[in-house]
Chains A and B, each alone.
Chain A
Amino acid sequence: DAMVIQNPRYQVTQFGKPVTLSCSQTLNHNVMYWYQQKSSQAPKLLFHYYDKDFNNEADTPDNFQSRRPNTSFCFLDIRSPGLGDAAMYLCATSRPRDRVTDTQYFGPGTRLTVL
């Protein structure tokens, strides 16, 4: 039944050690999003793909990269995690009919700890 799947659910990495988070979807949605959410805050959009078109938010650090090899999968790469990158990372998908009604559906998130 799971429609947006994120692996792993919990990830522990060391300071400066690259880490990859994955997201897959069975909804066949053409837009996929990556959010960062710190404790007790609203999610912050990092980037999104509309099909293969990559859209980076202006304030997303260069340390964060993304790949979308096909419709179903999207990856978040953190090249050199810092302590400030410890957060929940949420993947979402949507199939917009138009920009206003577009509803995003989220995965369960990956909680990243940086030691």
Chain B
Amino acid sequence: AQKITQTQPGMFVQEKEAVTLDCTYDTSDPSYGLFWYKQPSSGEMIFLIYQGSYDQQNATEGRYSLNFQKARKSANLVISASQLGDSAMYFCAMREEDSNYQLIWGAGTKLIIKP
């Protein structure tokens, strides 16, 4: 079974609109971390935001926020006021406590911002 599911292979969004990228996860480990990365066409993987399973509040980093719904096992990334430079591949990833440092990756969502 997929441990990280990103159901949107691709999205088109108008510039300046907010964007929500979906991520659901599956784990029986009570302690885990969730990560979002951005990968532009240049190839570099850029860390955006982190949410811990025990964190009481949703994580925020500038225009990025994480809508963490633990009971639903979802960790959606919200980008406010999208910009052309947000066009990229976005990956959701999870680390479980008993994982020997390995990240479990989703398949990614390709986001294209239209001017």
Contacts and interface: CB of A to CB of B under 8 A. Distances in A.
Is B one of A's binding partners?
Answer: yes
Interface of A: 31, 33, 40-43, 45, 48, 50, 55, 57, 88, 90, 92, 94, 96, 98-109, 111
A101 B33 contact: yes
B97 interface: yes
A40 B6 CA distance: 13
A99 B101 contact: yes
Nearest to A108: B44
Given A41-B107, A100-B31, A100-B96, 15 more contacts: A42-B91, A43-B45, A45-B102, A48-B101, A55-B101, A88-B43, A96-B101, A99-B96, A99-B100, A100-B52, A103-B35, A104-B35, A104-B103, A109-B44, A111-B43
Secondary structure class of chain B's binding surface, majority of residues: loop
B28 interface: no
Interface string B67-94: 0000000000000000000000001000
Interface string B94-111: 011111111101111000
Given A42-B107, A50-B101, A96-B101, A104 B47 contact: yes
Nearest to A43: B105
Interface residues of B, number: 28
Interface of B: 31-33, 35, 37, 42-47, 50, 52-53, 91, 95-103, 105-108
Contact of B50 (A43, A90, A101): A101
A43 B96 CA distance: 17
B3 to A, nearest CB: 12
B43 A108 contact: yes
A104 B100 CA distance: 13
Contacts of B101: 31, 33, 48, 50, 55, 94, 96, 99, 102
A94 B46 CA distance: 13
Contacts of A111: 43
